[in-house]
């Protein structure tokens, strides 16, 4: 009856065990931080292996599991794989922050892992109730992560703002779920579109429900006009974890949005497609224009993430045909964002809330490695050929064109061209501008160097030869 297929929740169980063991070992034995690293990365690596196993099994045998609460399919498995990689990279970048706080460091690690669990639930959910549950597990952990620097006013502001607005968005999402239930009588994502509800598909209640679900998830992925929190929250959070916060929420938020809209509401695509296109257009314009005026790299990256939310959404306007383009874009963008914020953490310190652009002047001489990684990330975000950003943009634009949204693609091209200005401005600061005062030397940890090298290699590899990843994402479709 319940169909308890444990292979489908293997990665979630592995990471959950990691959290429990980590916290229990921490309060009973008070071990060295080396042990924290062993437990957290051990659980992430075993979760990664189990996610690969799930991927292999789901290819032949996709099915709803646990009383139709979760979905065992390539979509879930691929999402878990990517989320675990991003969590591991995020932890590597954040590790100095963890080690510096002997009393609460383990909690930060546990919160990052808990966020990952919530996000994995979000991509695997087969029931709107589970979507909400995953959303809340992830969001509540993220609110606490945002306020991790307790003594910083900006960090407190970020946590309160994120919590209040995030709870409001969750409530909006939940109301949308309730209206969908009122309109169709079911919460199962696959059953909503089923034949037994064919007579009820055009009721206004259902359409309002879909709208509210899009608003709720649009908030979580920081799409305009629901982006107001993003700059303040990403600015206030400790630089070490900002990349993970941003990338994780984007991956799982867009995955959930794609699954719900494409699987449940494909019949109503004519209604939500144009609405999504408007949100995408608004995000691109608002994100790009506001990013130009920023003088702080963290804030600029926050606005650029709003613009990227618009680009990613462009893939969805055509429905299911754009899912592989969406996956490609969101995965490569997640790596870029972790890389860019990783450089910010290295330059301004993992616990900092500010990262003024003038700190980056002359970085090319002080630290050629960081300068190279930062420039590569900027080029990839701008969508320059031979980086993963170009292949990603190409994919989402093609998906929108095939769906007939030519105006959206034209707007996106203009936004990309304008975006080039502020991405290149960072590179100019790094390599061309002259230092007026002596800047402090930059020291980075081995973990950070490893994480940044990984994202740089992946960004170039997927840019030069996107075929392998494209093959994989074309199999990562919802059941």
Measured from the CB atom, the residue of 47 and 362 that comes closer to other proteins is 47
Which among 212, 208, 213 has a CA at the least distance from the CA of 183? 208
Measured from the CB atom, the residue of 21 and 420 that comes closer to other proteins is 21
Measured from the CB atom, the residue of 24 and 164 that comes closer to other proteins is 24
Among 2, 295, 434, 436, binds other proteins (CB under 8 A): 2
Q: How many angstroms separate the Cα of 360 from the Cα of each of 22, 238, 347, 364, 423?
A: 37, 18, 8, 9, 13
Measured from the CB atom, the residue of 24 and 428 that comes closer to other proteins is 24
Rule CB under 8 A: which of 35-74 touch other proteins?
Answer: none
- Mark 152-191 with x for binding to other proteins (rule: CB under 8 A) and - for no binding: ---------------------------------x------
Angle formed by the axes of helices 153-184 and 229-236, to 10°?
140
In angstroms, give the least distance from the CB of 129 to other proteins.
13
Sign of CA dihedral 6, 9, 11, 14: negative
Report cis status (omega within 30 of 0) of the bond before 225.
yes
In angstroms, give the least distance from the CB of 31 to other proteins.
14
Measured from the CB atom, the residue of 26 and 296 that comes closer to other proteins is 26
Q: How many angstroms separate the Cα of 364 from the Cα of each of 152, 371, 446, 453?
A: 30, 5, 20, 16
In angstroms, give the least distance from the CB of 146 to other proteins.
20
Which among 415, 409, 414 has a CA at the least distance from the CA of 396? 409
**Under the criterion CB under 8 A, does residue 414 sit at the interface with other proteins?**
no
Query: How many Å apart are CA 379 and CA 196, to the nearest integer?
Result: 50
In angstroms, give the least distance from the CB of 264 to other proteins.
18
Measured from the CB atom, the residue of 181 and 369 that comes closer to other proteins is 181
In angstroms, give the least distance from the CB of 39 to other proteins.
14
In angstroms, give the least distance from the CB of 200 to other proteins.
8
In angstroms, give the least distance from the CB of 28 to other proteins.
7
- Mark 14-33 with x for binding to other proteins (rule: CB under 8 A) and - for no binding: ------x--xx--xx-----
In angstroms, give the least distance from the CB of 184 to other proteins.
10
Measured from the CB atom, the residue of 199 and 204 that comes closer to other proteins is 199
Measured from the CB atom, the residue of 148 and 329 that comes closer to other proteins is 148
Measured from the CB atom, the residue of 28 and 436 that comes closer to other proteins is 28
- Mark 343-382 with x for binding to other proteins (rule: CB under 8 A) and - for no binding: ----------------------------------------
In angstroms, give the least distance from the CB of 256 to other proteins.
24
- Residues with Cβ within 8 Å of 315's Cβ and at least 6 positions away in sequence, in order, are 322, 323, 325, 326, 329, 395, 396, 399, 400
Rule CB under 8 A: which of 191-210 touch other proteins?
Answer: 196, 199-200
Total number of residues that touch other proteins (CB under 8 A):
12
In angstroms, give the least distance from the CB of 252 to other proteins.
22
In angstroms, give the least distance from the CB of 337 to other proteins.
32
In angstroms, give the least distance from the CB of 314 to other proteins.
37
Measured from the CB atom, the residue of 200 and 208 that comes closer to other proteins is 200
Sign of CA dihedral 434, 439, 445, 451: negative
Measured from the CB atom, the residue of 30 and 365 that comes closer to other proteins is 30
Measured from the CB atom, the residue of 178 and 413 that comes closer to other proteins is 178
Interface residue list for other proteins (CB under 8 A): 1-2, 4, 20, 23-24, 27-28, 185, 196, 199-200
């Amino acid at each position: 009856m319940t169909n308890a297929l444990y292979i489908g929740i293997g990665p979630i169980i592995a990471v959950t065990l990691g959290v429990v063991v980590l916290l229990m070992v921490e309060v009973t034995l008070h071990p060295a931080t080396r042990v924290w690293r062993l437990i957290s990365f051990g659980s992430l690596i075993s979760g990664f292996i189990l996610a690969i196993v799930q991927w292999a099994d789901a290819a032949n045998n996709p099915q709803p599991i646990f009383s139709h609460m979760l979905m065992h399919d390539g979509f879930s498995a691929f999402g878990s794989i990517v989320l675990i990689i991003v969590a591991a990279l995020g932890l590597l970048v954040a590790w100095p922050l963890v080690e510096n706080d002997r009393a609460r460091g383990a909690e930060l690690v546990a919160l990052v892992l808990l966020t990952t669990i919530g996000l994995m639930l979000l991509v695997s959910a087969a029931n709107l109730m589970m979507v909400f549950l995953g959303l809340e597990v992830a969001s509540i952990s993220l609110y606490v992560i945002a306020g991790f620097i307790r003594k910083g006013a900006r960090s407190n502001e970020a946590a309160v703002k994120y919590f209040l607005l995030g709870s409001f968005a969750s409530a909006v999402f939940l109301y949308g779920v309730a209206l969908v239930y009122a309109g169709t009588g079911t919460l199962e994502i696959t059953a909503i579109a089923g034949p037994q509800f064919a007579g009820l598909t055009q009721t206004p209640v259902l359409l309002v429900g879909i709208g509210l679900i899009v608003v709720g998830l649009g908030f979580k992925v920081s799409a305009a006009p629901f982006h107001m929190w993003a700059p303040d929250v990403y600015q206030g959070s400790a630089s070490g974890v900002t990349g993970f916060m941003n990338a994780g929420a984007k991956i799982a938020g867009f995955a959930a949005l794609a699954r719900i809209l494409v699987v449940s509401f494909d019949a109503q695509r004519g209604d939500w497609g144009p609405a999504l296109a408007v949100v995408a257009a608004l995000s691109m314009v608002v994100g790009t224009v506001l990013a130009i005026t920023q003088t702080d790299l963290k804030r600029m990256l926050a606005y650029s993430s709003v613009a990227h939310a618009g680009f990613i959404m462009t893939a969805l306007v055509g429905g299911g045909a754009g899912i592989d383009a969406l996956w490609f874009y969101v995965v490569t963008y997640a790596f870029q964002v972790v890389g860019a914020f990783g450089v910010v953490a290295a330059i301004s310190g993992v616990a900092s809330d500010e990262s003024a652009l003038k700190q980056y002047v002359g970085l090319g001489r002080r630290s050629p490695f960081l300068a190279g990684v930062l420039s590569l990330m900027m080029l990839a975000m701008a969508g320059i050929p031979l980086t993963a950003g170009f292949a990603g943009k190409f994919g989402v634009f093609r998906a929108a064109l095939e769906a007939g949204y030519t105006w959206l693609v034209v707007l996106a091209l203009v936004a990309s061209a304008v975006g080039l200005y502020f991405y290149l401005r960072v590179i100019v600061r790094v390599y061309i501008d002259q230092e007026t005062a002596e800047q402090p030397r930059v020291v980075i940890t081995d973990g950070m160097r490893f994480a940044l090298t990984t994202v740089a290699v992946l960004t170039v590899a997927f840019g030069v030869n996107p075929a392998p990843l494209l093959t994989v994402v074309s199999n990562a479709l919802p059941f």
